[in-house]
């Protein structure tokens, strides 16, 4: 028998629900929509496993990412965030998944088409934070449909937030005008934006620790650690690191950051610091903005060995220049940096 339920409005949520609805609100920033960015997560609210994420976007095959036309109206073939998440979810083998333990978390209420997709996927719980005005009332509203189909619908009313909840939802102290916001958004883009990863595949596999999906936590870390004019770096303290987090990241001057810029496409299969010179191999080093030739050698290994020695000397020189302005752990990492042929 189909049972009807009432829309539940909550000002407090469990810790796991707060975590996921917060992440949905951050994921929306990956969208390139100008007017309304929407983010969604399908997760197990029992064990904390994330099964799919989504945000409003265009089909890649269309050749453009704009979600609106020249008048600012949303294009009819935009993929909605809930739709994107459900499509990703249904690509998985869900035969052993307990659908009753799944929640679709979304930064906005669903349209009727997305509501039908949620029901079709078998998801039994829908939690959102902001209601489209036109869907607030009426027996034919999307969430009225979901409730009739025995889907639990919860509106998390951000206007009723208690002070204790701000730690998770992240909407109290810092906003998008804060100077750290663009850095935080760019960090998420480098890790999770599909279009960006196609252009910069070296970032494939990079991720952001869960706590930094909360902008408030990242902004507080930024306030405590930022040095004027410095840039965020994740690779110096831990070589080849792919995780952005408070234990792996630091702020360094651009000169230090650029010490480790790689040009993989230009050098091809040769190791760093080595290029062809006829039938031989040239070792060269960019030092203080100028390319310096270090000699021509018969083997790749000989050329790299010369480059390695000079590069490590150069890194130490730069470390000494900034010693009094950079944190000691950054200074020590530079002084002990080991250049490898696989870099």
Look up residue 220 and give its two tokens: 């507080």
Q: What integer best gives the mean pLDDT of the chain? A: 84
- Please spell the DSSP secondary structure of 102-118, one letter per residue: EEEEESSPPPHHHHHHH
Q: Strand 50-55 to strand 39-44: parallel, antiparallel, or no bridges (unpaired)?
A: antiparallel
Coil, strand or helix at 26: helix
- pLDDT for 139 equals 60
How distant is the alpha carbon of residue 255 from its chain centre? 25
Distance separating alpha carbons of residues 188 and 213, to the nearest angstrom: 8
> 54 with 81: CB under 8 angstroms?
yes
In 3D, which of 268, 281, 262, 173 has the Cα closest to residue 218?
Answer: 173
* Tens of pLDDT, residues 107-155: 988 888 999 999 999 999 999 987 664 444 456 678 788 888 899 988 8
- pLDDT for 118 equals 95
- pLDDT for 11 equals 66
Residues 6+ apart with CB under 8 A from 247: none
Return the beta strands (E) in the chain as ranges: 8-10, 39-44, 50-55, 102-106, 125-128, 152-156, 207-208, 231-233, 243-244, 250-252, 274-277, 280-287, 290-297
Distance separating alpha carbons of residues 170 and 339, to the nearest angstrom: 40
Residues 6+ apart with CB under 8 A from 50: 20, 41, 42, 43
> 156 with 132: CB under 8 angstroms?
no
Regions of the chain with pLDDT less than 50: 1-4, 133-137, 159-171
- pLDDT for 167 equals 33
Distance separating alpha carbons of residues 225 and 327, to the nearest angstrom: 10
- Fill in the DSSP letter of residue 249: -
Look up residue 295 and give its two tokens: 């000699």
pTM across the whole model: 0.51
- pLDDT for 242 equals 93
The alpha-helical segments, DSSP class H, found in 234-275 are: 254-257, 264-267
In 3D, which of 256, 258, 239, 237 has the Cα closest to residue 247?
Answer: 237
Distance separating alpha carbons of residues 339 and 343, to the nearest angstrom: 7
Task: Indicate if the alpha-carbon torsion angle 271, 274, 275, 281 is positive or negative.
Answer: negative
For residue 68, which phi and psi values (nearest 5 degrees)? Answer: -125, 155
Distance separating alpha carbons of residues 38 and 27, to the nearest angstrom: 8
In 3D, which of 142, 117, 148, 124 has the Cα closest to residue 54?
Answer: 117
β-bridge partners, 287: 290
């Amino acid at each position: 028998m189909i049972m009807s339920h009432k829309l539940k409005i909550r000002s407090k949520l469990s810790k796991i629900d707060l975590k996921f609805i917060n992440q949905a609100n951050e994921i929306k920033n990956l969208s390139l929509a100008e007017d309304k960015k929407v983010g969604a997560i399908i997760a197990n609210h029992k064990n904390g496993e994330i099964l799919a994420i989504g945000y409003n976007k265009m089909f890649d095959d269309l050749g453009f990412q704009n979600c609106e036309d020249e008048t600012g109206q949303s294009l009819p073939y935009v993929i909605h965030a809930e739709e994107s998440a459900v499509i990703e979810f249904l690509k998985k083998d869900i035969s052993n998944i307990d659908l009753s333990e799944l929640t679709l978390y979304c930064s906005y209420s669903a349209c009727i088409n997305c509501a039908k997709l949620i029901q079709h996927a078998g998801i039994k719980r829908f939690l959102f934070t902001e209601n489209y005005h036109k869907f607030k009332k009426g027996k034919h509203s999307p969430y009225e449909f979901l409730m009739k189909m025995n889907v639990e619908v919860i509106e998390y009313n951000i206007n009723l937030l208690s002070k204790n909840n701000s730690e998770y939802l992240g909407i109290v102290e810092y906003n998008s005008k804060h100077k750290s916001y663009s850095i935080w958004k760019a960090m998420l883009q480098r890790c999770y934006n599909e279009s960006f990863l196609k252009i910069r595949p070296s970032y494939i596999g990079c991720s952001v620790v869960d706590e930094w999906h909360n902008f408030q936590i990242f902004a507080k870390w930024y306030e405590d650690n930022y040095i004027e004019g410095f840039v965020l770096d994740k690779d110096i303290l831990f070589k080849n690191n792919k995780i952005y987090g408070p234990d792996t990241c630091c702020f360094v001057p651009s000169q230090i950051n650029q010490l480790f810029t790689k040009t993989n496409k230009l050098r091809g299969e040769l190791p760093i610091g080595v290029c062809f010179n006829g039938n031989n191999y040239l070792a060269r080093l960019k030092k203080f903005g100028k390319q310096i030739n270090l000699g021509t050698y018969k083997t790749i290994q000989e050329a790299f060995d010369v480059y390695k020695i000079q590069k490590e000397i150069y890194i130490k020189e730069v470390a000494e220049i900034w010693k009094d302005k950079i944190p000691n752990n950054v200074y020590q990492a530079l002084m002990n940096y080991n250049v490898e042929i696989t870099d």
